[in-house]
Amino acid sequence: MNKTSLHTYASSVASEHGEDGIIAEICNRIGAANNWCVEFGALNGTHDSNTWNLIVNKGWEGVLIEADKTYFEKLTEVYQGNPRAHCFNEFIEYEGEHSIDSILSRTQIPKDFDLLSIDIDGSDYHVWDSLARYTPRLVVIEFNPTIPDDVEFVQPRDMGVFQGSSLRSTVLLANRKGYELVLVNETNAFFVLKELFPLCGVEDNSIENLHIDHSLETKLFQLYDGTLMIAGNTKLLWHNIPIDVQKLQVLPEHKRKYPAQIPQGEGTRSLKYYVRKSFLYPLIVRLRKLVK
């Protein structure tokens, strides 16, 4: 772990994994330009919120977007009478009147607002990619923590798909948009604008250095005889169902044999030897290849 790691500042008032403390420390290092924040999905305003502490306790102004009507009712109750909270009950789309650019344009939020928090369980990558008119200084975005760090995976650009994208692909998107990674926790990646990155005190911002929690990853590996095995997380995380390893097998059990194995019996080894010496053996080899 980096000696100047921001992980040590993790603490929660309303956030899920210590984001409140981490956000406060990053803002302390890079400065807050205007004390504006944006969060979607905002849920009920307090559950796993990365902005509630800023708006209620720190006096920030915020745009809160939630598509679910039940959650939105609770969200408006939480912020009732608070003029600093601008709540929208909308299902975000990539373009048009329900795009993030369009929704933000209905407010007085500055183009370079301080914090954008994205957590919509799927299209997080594509929604950030679609943001064009605004340049938040700090972005906290959810990635799929079950995908290994070396894998590039982006879910389809479809709001009806809920798969999530990999950390590596999210980092590549951030870099294209002019951001640098400063921290990774259980499910979120934290990015700041490249010009602000030197202020964060992070010497090595590689994924390998900053992503230290791999407990949610499922590792699949092969045995010599063709058996597939898993390690790490052994259940479907969002369904809480154990993964049945037997259902993952490509070969039935009676066919799981190491192709180059040496027979134990001396008679079998001798027979194999004489077959290989036979003039028919090259024909047998060719037939095997044709069958495969």
**Residue 23 near residue 39 (C-beta atoms within 8 A):** no
CA angle at 237 for the pair 233 and 242, rounded to the nearest 5°: 65
Nearest to 170 by CA among 156, 185, 186, 190: 190
Mean pLDDT of the chain: 91
Taken in order of first residue, the domains within the chain and their CATH numbers are 6-210 (3.40.50.150), 218-291 (no CATH)
Q: Give pLDDT tens digits for 108-145.
A: 999 999 999 999 889 999 999 999 999 999 999 999 99
CA dihedral 120, 121, 125, 131 (to 10 degrees): -10
Pick the more confident residue, 283 or 237. Answer: 237
d(CA 260, CA 163): 40
Residue 111: burial class (beta carbons within 10 Å; 0-12, 13-18, 19+) = exposed
Nearest to 67 by CA among 119, 20, 139, 142: 119
Please, which pLDDT band fits residue 292 given cuts at 50, 70 and 90? low
Query: Is the model's pLDDT at 2 over the cut of 70?
Result: no
d(CA 141, CA 124): 7
Check residue 278 and give its pLDDT.
79
d(CA 34, CA 7): 25
Query: Is the model's pLDDT at 269 over the cut of 80?
Result: no
Please, which pLDDT band fits residue 193 given cuts at 50, 70 and 90? very high
Counting Cα atoms < 13 Å in the Cβ hemisphere of 173 gives 22
Please state the pTM of the whole predicted model: 0.87
Q: Which residues are CB-neighbours of 139 under 8 A, at least 6 positions away?
A: 115, 116, 117, 118, 128, 174, 179, 190, 191, 192
Query: Is the model's pLDDT at 91 over the cut of 70?
Result: yes
d(CA 112, CA 283): 73
d(CA 165, CA 260): 39
> In residues, how long is the chain?
292
CA distances (Å), origin 104, targets 15, 54, 131, 231: 23, 18, 10, 44
